[in-house]
Structure 1
Amino acid sequence: MSDTSSAPAAPSTPATTPASPRSPQQSALADAVREIEHHVAAAGWDAPVRVFALVRTQAALEASPGLADQLDAQVLAAARVEPWHLTSVEQEGLPDADDLESLLAALSWPATVDGMAVTVERVVLPPQAEAAMPDDPDEALRYLMAHPERTDVRIAVGALRDGTAWCALRARTHDTDDQVGHGPDLVPGLVQAVRATLA
């Protein structure tokens, strides 16, 4: 079942921010978040929260030359010409937490980590349906799961230490790679929480 605990609200349908010039950091982060979302999507829906450390590939290769044997030729070629090319490392053994906010608050990163990303699934409703949700948590969950206008959404959010952020949103009703919405601030509350793990 999707995690339906309290979390920053997500839009009910993917939306893409109009194209604008991006910094090298934002371009690299957008690519990393897109790849992470596609990777998680390949495992299907009803998945747990997943967390990824983001490191600059050039620096990682300098620190651990053997990493080159684990990366394909295309990634190595990109890393040679893009100083901000990022490699994602999924984190195992996450701390126990009652909800996403508590999990993120418990995370901290060494200086060698340049950023982080998280993926989470949420159930969203139109505003008028949210307004009618019962106050009792158990009743609210039953209402949410049974509502005919509910939409399951996968959210991927990444941030770098300088505050650069990127989001990807995929609705279960439009579950194809070309229907994923992208932008820097699609889920502002979650962006803020991800940034805080890097402070």
Structure 2
Amino acid sequence: MSSVANVALMQSVVEIEQHVAADGWNQRPRMFALVPTAELLVTQPRMAAALGLTDEAGPSGGIPTFTSIEQDGLALDQPLDEMLGKMVWPAAVEGCALVIETQMLPPSAEAQIPRELEGAALERWVAKHPERQDVRMAVGVLRDGTRQAAIRLRSKDSDMEVLSGPDLVPNLATALLETFEE
């Protein structure tokens, strides 16, 4: 994993989270393909133009390293792991990012979780817990294993309060990386 890829992915994940945040809360999961911008300019000039990308900025800046392309038609009527298990990316896609909303408990509340609860029953229990936090997680990965995440708490709904880092949502990052395995 190069530091350039790490920085480029972090920039993309933060931009995607901010894009989704502009639409407010209570959204469905949203998936984005990450395509190298320079390659998109060469191989898909009409798409690049439609996205407002030009090569006028030059290599010194202005062109993001990755262009995110939202994927429509996700099978949202199935569990996330099943949906991800069916995903296949073309070779031109260098990475992907998924944005989902969920509820989390602080570590201090995890000891209160009844052991017999699973699935929907556990989700209902968490939803009623007074310490629960609504969160939006944007997790991005590249084929080479680079991973980044951005997390926004509903209680601190500000771009300045978004947490970011490579190890914030490791299980989801691993699941996204598996969409690139053949």
Q: Which bin holds the TM-score, normalised by the shorter protein?
A: 0.7 to 0.9
Kindly indicate whether residue 78 of structure 2 is the aligned counterpart of residue 98 of structure 1. yes
Identity %: 44
2:40 and 2:48 in contact (8 A); partners too = no
TM-score (norm 1): 0.80
Kindly indicate whether residue 124 of structure 2 is the aligned counterpart of residue 142 of structure 1. yes
**Aligned-pair CA distance for 1:139:** 4.4
In the alignment, the residues of structure 1 paired with residue 134 and residue 82 of structure 2 have an alpha-carbon distance, to the nearest angstrom, of: 22
**Aligned-pair CA distance for 1:98:** 2.7
For 1:61, what is the secondary structure of its paired residue?
helix
1:58 and 1:80 in contact (8 A); partners too = no
Which has the bigger relative contact order, CA under 8 A and spacing at least 6? 1
Kindly indicate whether residue 140 of structure 2 is the aligned counterpart of residue 158 of structure 1. yes
Q: What is the aligned length?
A: 177
Counterpart position of 1:109:
89
In the alignment, the residues of structure 1 paired with residue 153 and residue 127 of structure 2 have an alpha-carbon distance, to the nearest angstrom, of: 15
Inter-CA distance 133–162: structure 2 relative to 1 (3 Å threshold): same
In the alignment, the residues of structure 1 paired with residue 104 and residue 163 of structure 2 have an alpha-carbon distance, to the nearest angstrom, of: 15
In the alignment, the residues of structure 2 paired with residue 62 and residue 24 of structure 1 have an alpha-carbon distance, to the nearest angstrom, of: 21
In the alignment, the residues of structure 2 paired with residue 76 and residue 32 of structure 1 have an alpha-carbon distance, to the nearest angstrom, of: 18
The aligned amino acid for 2:166 is: P
Unaligned stretches of 5+ residues in structure 2: none
TM-score (norm 2): 0.87
Counterpart position of 1:190:
172
**Aligned-pair CA distance for 1:97:** 5.0
Kindly indicate whether residue 157 of structure 2 is the aligned counterpart of residue 172 of structure 1. no
Query: For 1:79-90, what aligned pairs fall within 5 Å after superposition?
Result: 80-81=59-60, 85-90=65-70
1:37 and 1:168 in contact (8 A); partners too = yes
Inter-CA distance 131–161: structure 2 relative to 1 (3 Å threshold): same
